[in-house]
Amino acid sequence: MPPFPNPKLTADDNTVEQLVQAAKLTEAGDVLAARHILARLINHRLPAAAPPLLRSAFYFKDALRRALSSPSPPPPAASTPLDVLLKLTAYKAFSDLSPLLHFAHFTCVQAVLDELSAACSCIHVLDFDIGVGEQWASLMHDLAHRHAGVALKVTALVTTSSHHPLELQLIHDTLSTFAADLAVPFRFAAFNLDATDLTTLLAVAAGTDAIAVHLPVGSVHATAVPSVLHLVRRLGAKLVVSVDRGCDRGELPFAAHLLQALRSTVSLLESLDAMGTDSDVAAKIERFWVQPKIEECVRAAAAPGGDKTTTAAWRATLASAGFVPVQVSSLAEAQAESLLKKLPVRGFRLERRGGSLFLHWQRGELASVSAWRC
């Protein structure tokens, strides 16, 4: 594994190197030795105005330490109404500052419109990563102005640890109000993947005109992807849209996976710093948005039988399941270019590769969007 470049670290600061060593020991099965290294780092404190690399390394260090110390699953991501408020506030701040979420949302929505909007009366989206649901507000807006009369159904597929019931209620209320204002026929439902047999979705999806599935990389465990894709085919889905945040690399061994996720997070924090983010706002975004994403990534990969073992690459898995890649449209690319032109800084750039559209900050990949036809 190539060493991680650390020009911004002082010579006596080896946090990144120790983190990588702990990841290698975890991959080799020597959890005790990995814990010993991480224990030595517990008393280290993040210095004021630390560079993105050092901040990222500290977040990954804490996430790996907790993942190796507690075999039980984490508590819900937002366990109280206050947690929900803090999470949503951080999400909005991140969405206002970074183009990443808008890029992913607009590109996914355009792929759905390109494939499904013609001659259909209802679009049904099955979403494995609903977030706060704002991407489907964008879809409603397009339906109202360009495809009047087309109805929208959204079924959020969630877990106990991913969404508090209050979050789902807020998503339902917000999307329903938006749909009513636009006169778009709309229905929302949520299914708990921890308690619900996925095959029951067959009945839910029955009779809908056009089914699209939002299935981001990492939204389901790597070992469950084949069965999920089999279900998607049984549902008769016409399209799968997928977002890769650049840090979900289940096909890599654990240490390489963690290093890739670290690199991606560094690029993200560098881009936020370049946007001139207020320090208090940046702290909230990192604590209530970035760090929980890191926790999810590390815990999933470090779990017994988790993504630290080599699996088939995401695109290869989709192709082997009978899905054909769909070229991202020129309209989607034009929308993304327009988004970047409105930013106050330069450094974000787009790349079209293999039919997918990639968003970069300088040389670091932030996210990509791909679409697949069943």
User: Rounded to whole angstroms, how far apart are CA atoms 129 and 193?
Assistant: 12
Higher pLDDT, 314 or 349: 349
CB 198 within 8 A of CB 228: yes
Q: Where are the domains of the chain?
A: 15-72+252-302, 91-247+312-373
User: Rounded to whole angstroms, how far apart are CA atoms 349 and 245?
Assistant: 15
Residue 312 has pLDDT above 70, yes or no: no
The SS3 of residue 213 is: strand
Output DSSP code: residue 112.
H
**pLDDT at res. 76:** 54
Residue 306 has pLDDT above 60, yes or no: no
CA end-to-end distance (rounded Å), the chain: 36
Chain centroid to CA 298: how far?
13
Superfamily of domain 91-247+312-373: Vaccinia Virus protein VP39 (3.40.50.150)
* CA distances from residue 316 to 19, 74, 234, 324 in whole angstroms, order as listed: 30, 31, 20, 11
CB atoms within 10 A of CB 295: 20
User: Rounded to whole angstroms, how far apart are CA atoms 253 and 24?
Assistant: 9
pLDDT tens profile 167-216: 899 999 999 999 999 999 999 999 887 766 666 767 777 666 799 999 99
Give the contacts of 325 (CB within 8 A, at least 6 positions apart).
Answer: 315, 318, 319, 354, 355, 356, 370, 371, 372, 373
User: Rounded to whole angstroms, how far apart are CA atoms 122 and 86?
Assistant: 34
**pLDDT at res. 344:** 92
User: Rounded to whole angstroms, how far apart are CA atoms 225 and 213?
Assistant: 13
Higher pLDDT, 111 or 250: 111
Both tokens assigned to 326 = 């769909």
Mean pLDDT of 22-51: 86
Rg of the chain on CA atoms, in Å: 21
pTM: 0.88
Backbone angles phi, psi at 152, to 5 degrees: -130, 130
**pLDDT at res. 107:** 96
* Nearest C-alpha neighbor of 365 from the set 277, 295, 294, 261: 261
What's the length of the chain?
374
Both tokens assigned to 193 = 């993947």
pLDDT tens profile 330-339: 999 999 999 9
pLDDT tens profile 123-162: 999 999 998 899 999 999 999 998 888 999 999 988 777 7
Backbone angles phi, psi at 271, to 5 degrees: -65, -40
Mean pLDDT lowest among 16-30, 49-63, 153-167: 153-167
| pLDDT bracket for residue 10 (50, 70, 90) | very low
**pLDDT at res. 199:** 67
pLDDT tens profile 80-90: 888 888 989 99
Mean pLDDT lowest among 3-17, 120-134, 252-266: 3-17
Q: Are strands 356-361 and 364-373 parallel, antiparallel or unpaired?
A: antiparallel
